[in-house]
C-alpha cells in the first residue's frame, strides 16, 4: 500500500535513543540530537528499496514513528503527548557507504527514495501509554530487534517538547524516535518486517506488519558529481552491529590476524613509484583531490609508504580541553596503538600555530614500528624528532604545546588532512614532492600503471639527452610510440 499519511512537511529522526543501542555503540549522549530526512524518502508497507550499485552497507533500523496531530510550539513535556495523533512502525533505512562525508547530517546516507517506510496502520496516540510501547523487527522471519519504550534514554513526550522549543511541529510531521540494538546490514532479497504494539493488554493494539524488500540497484553514483561511496572497518562494524558480525577481527586481535591492504610486493612497487607519477594516475581515474597540501619531510630524501591510522583534533576550547585533553587522551591512544607499517595521519585543520606531536610520542611511534607521521599542523621538538629518525611530514616546527590551538578528539575516523579526505586503512605515500592518499581498492592498479609510466619516462629522458626535441616525443606521437615499443621488445628479448 502507499504511505498511510499525506507527505509530511518534516521528517525528524533522533540519532541515538535506546540504552541497548548506546551500550552497543559505547557512547551515551547527554541530550538528544537529530537529523532531517526528506519527505521523498517516505514509503508504505510492502515497499521495495534499492541498494545502490557499488555499495555494501545498507542497514535497517526498526523505529517507532510519531505523527503530529495538532501544531506544537514550546509545549511542555506534560502537554506534549496531546499533540501526537498517531503512533506507527517505521524503518529508518541507511546506507553507511555514504555516511562519513555528511558529518552526522545523514543527508545522503538516510535520504534515499524509499528509505523511510512507515505504517501500515495508525495507532491513536490517545489510546496508549508512551512508556509502554513495544518495537520488534524481523529479517527473513528471524527476530532481530525486540525492545520497548521503557528502554529509551529520552522519553517520547520529551522529544516532542524538545523539538517544539526550536520550531513549530505541524500536523502530519513525523518523528522517528530511535532504534534499539539489533540493527544490521541487509542485502538484496532480504525482507524486513517492523511492528509496533502494546503487549500485555486485553485488546490487540498494533501497527500491523511494515514490510520492506531489498533489491539490487543497477545505477552507480557519478564520480563527477560528488563524493563516492566509501567504507572502512569502523563503518562495517557500526553497520553490522559489531566487529564480529562484520567478519572483522576483534580490536585486541594480534596484528597478524588483521588483513592488510599492503602486500610486500605492493609496498615495494609504491616505494619505487614517485608521488608525482601516482598522482597523475589517480587523476586519470577521476580522483583529483588525493594530495595532502602544505606538508614537507623532516628528513632529507624521505620516502614513506603505509596504511593510515587517523587522529583528529578539534579547535581549542577550554572546557573541552579539560574533559578531553588530559589523561589518556585520543592523541596518546593513537600513538600507543599504531602498528608496524602504519602512518599516523593527523587532522590539525592546517593550523601551524602549535605542535601536534613531540619527541616522546615520536619515540613511541618509532618503537611501535610506525612508517611515519603526516600532520597538516606543526611539530614540537622538531630537531629531536628528526634525530629519533621517525619520518614526519608537517608544516614545520612550532614550540607551543597542543592545548594552545587543539583538543585531541578521536581516532580511527575519517578525517581531513591538508585538504584531502583520509580514511583509516587508506594507503599513504610521501616523498620529496609531498604526500598522496590512495584508496586501497585502486592501489595495485595505480602502482602498476605508475611503474610502467616511469619506465616510459626514463626512455623519453634518454632520447632528450641524446638531442631529440620534446615535440612529438613528450608525449609520444605514433612514430615515437612505435620506436619505444620496438626498443622495449628488443630489451626484453636480450634478457
Q: The whole model's pTM is what? A: 0.55
* Residue-averaged pLDDT of the chain: 89
Express each pLDDT in 268-297 by its tens digit. Answer: 889 988 999 999 999 988 888 899 999 999
Q: What is the pLDDT of residue 260?
A: 57
For residue 171, count other CB atoms closer than 10 A to its CB. Answer: 16
Fold for 290-438, please state it.
Glucose Oxidase; domain 1 (3.50.30)
Unique residue bearing C-alpha cell 517492523: 194
Q: What is the pLDDT of residue 486?
A: 84
For 11-240, CATH gives: 3.90.850.10
Give CA–CA dist 451/448, Å, rounded. Answer: 5
Same fold, 11-240 and 290-438: no
Phi-psi region of 481 (alpha: psi -120 to 50; beta: other; left: phi over 0): alpha
Q: Where are the domains of the chain?
A: 11-240, 290-438, 451-494
- pLDDT < 70 stretches in the chain: 1-6, 103, 250-261, 492-495
Give CA–CA dist 210/235, Å, rounded. Answer: 27
88, exposed or middle or buried, with CB in 10 Å at 0-12, 13-18, 19+? Answer: buried
Give the three-class secondary structure for 315: strand
Q: What is the pLDDT of residue 203?
A: 86
Give CA–CA dist 269/416, Å, rounded. Answer: 26
Unique residue bearing C-alpha cell 533500523: 61
250, exposed or middle or buried, with CB in 10 Å at 0-12, 13-18, 19+? Answer: exposed
Residues of the chain above pLDDT 70, percent? 95
Express each pLDDT in 16-28 by its tens digit. Answer: 999 999 888 877 8
Where are the extended beta strands (E) located within 361-443? 372-375, 392-394, 406-411, 415-417, 420-422, 427-431, 434-438
Amino acid at each position: 500500500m502507499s504511505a498511510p499519511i499525506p507527505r509530511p512537511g518534516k521528517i525528524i529522526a533522533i540519532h541515538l535513543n535506546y540504552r541497548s543501542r548506546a551500550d552497543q555503540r559505547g557512547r551515551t549522549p547527554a541530550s538528544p540530537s537529530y537529523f532531517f530526512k526528506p519527505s521523498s524518502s517516505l514509503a508504505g508497507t510492502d515497499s521495495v528499496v534499492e541498494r545502490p550499485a557499488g555499495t555494501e552497507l545498507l542497514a535497517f533500523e526498526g523505529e517507532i514513528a510519531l505523527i503530529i496531530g495538532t501544531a506544537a510550539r514550546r509545549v511542555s513535556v506534560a502537554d506534549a503527548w496531546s499533540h501526537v495523533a498517531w503512533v506507527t512502525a517505521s524503518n529508518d533505512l541507511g546506507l553507511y557507504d555514504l555516511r562519513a562525508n555528511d558529518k552526522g547530517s545523514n543527508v545522503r546516507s538516510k535520504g534515499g527514495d524509499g528509505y523511510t517506510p512507515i505504517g501500515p496502520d495508525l495507532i491513536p496516540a490517545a489510546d496508549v501509554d508512551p512508556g509502554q510501547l513495544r518495537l520488534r523487527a524481523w529479517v527473513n522471519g528471524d527476530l532481530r530487534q525486540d525492545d520497548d519504550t521503557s528502554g529509551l534514554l529520552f522519553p517520547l513526550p520529551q522529544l516532542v517538547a524538545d523539538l517544539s522549543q526550536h520550531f513549530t511541529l505541524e500536523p502530519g510531521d513525523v518523528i522517528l524516535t530511535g532504534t534499539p540494538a539489533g540493527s544490521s546490514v541487509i542485502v538484496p532479497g532480504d525482507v524486513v518486517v517492523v511492528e509496533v504494539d502494546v503487549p500485555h493488554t486485553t485488546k490487540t493494539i498494533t501497527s500491523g506488519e511494515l514490510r520492506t524488500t531489498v533489491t539490487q540497484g543497477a545505477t552507480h553514483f557519478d564520480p563527477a558529481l560528488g563524493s563516492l561511496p566509501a567504507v572502512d572497518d569502523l563503518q562495517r562494524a557500526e553497520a553490522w552491529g559489531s566487529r564480529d558480525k562484520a567478519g572483522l577481527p576483534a580490536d585486541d586481535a594480534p596484528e597478524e590476524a588483521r588483513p592488510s591492504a599492503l602486500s610486500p610486493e605492493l609496498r615495494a612497487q609504491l616505494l619505487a613509484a614517485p608521488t608525482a607519477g601516482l598522482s597523475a594516475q589517480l587523476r586519470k581515474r577521476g580522483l583529483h583531490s588525493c594530495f595532502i597540501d602544505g606538508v614537507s619531510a623532516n628528513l632529507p630524501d624521505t620516502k614513506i609508504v603505509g596504511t593510515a591510522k587517523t587522529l583528529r583534533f578539534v579547535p581549542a576550547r577550554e572546557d573541552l580541553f579539560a574533559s578531553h585533553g588530559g589523561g589518556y587522551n585520543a592523541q596518546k591512544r593513537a600513538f600507543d596503538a599504531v602498528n608496524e607499517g602504519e602512518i599516523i595521519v593527523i587532522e590539525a585543520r592546517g593550523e601551524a600555530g602549535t605542535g601536534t606531536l613531540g619527541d616522546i610520542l615520536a619515540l613511541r611511534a618509532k618503537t611501535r614500528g610506525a612508517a611515519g607521521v603526516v600532520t597538516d599542523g606543526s611539530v614540537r621538538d622538531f630537531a629531536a624528532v628528526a634525530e629519533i629518525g621517525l619520518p614526519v611530514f608537517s608544516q614545520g616546527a612550532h614550540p607551543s604545546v597542543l592545548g594552545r590551538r587543539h583538543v585531541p578528539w578521536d581516532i580511527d575516523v575519517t578525517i581531513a588532512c591538508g585538504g584531502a579526505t583520509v580514511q583509516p586503512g587508506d594507503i599513504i605515500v610521501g616523498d620529496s614532492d609531498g604526500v598522496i592518499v590512495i584508496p586501497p581498492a585502486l592501489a595495485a592498479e595505480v602502482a602498476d600503471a605508475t611503474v610502467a609510466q616511469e619506465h616510459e619516462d626514463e626512455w623519453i629522458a634518454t632520447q632528450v639527452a641524446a638531442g631529440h626535441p620534446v615535440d612529438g616525443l613528450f608525449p609520444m606521437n605514433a612514430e615515437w610510440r612505435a620506436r619505444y615499443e620496438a626498443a622495449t621488445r628488443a630489451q626484453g628479448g636480450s634478457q
